Amino acid sequence: YYASRLRHAISRTLESLPEQVASAINGVFDDAKDPFTIADIVAQQFVSDPGIRRALLEEPTVAKRVEILIDLLDRAKPRSQRG
- Which helix (H) or strand (E) segment holds residue 78: the answer is none
- Averaged in consecutive runs of 10 residues, what is the pLDDT profile of the chain (83 residues)? 84 87 86 85 88 90 92 74 50
Backbone angles phi, psi at 34, to 5 degrees: -110, 155
User: pTM for the complete prediction?
Assistant: 0.76
Other CB atoms within a 10 A radius of the CB of residue 12 amount to 16
The CA dihedral of 9, 13, 64, 56, to the nearest 10 degrees, is: 150
pLDDT at site 36: 86
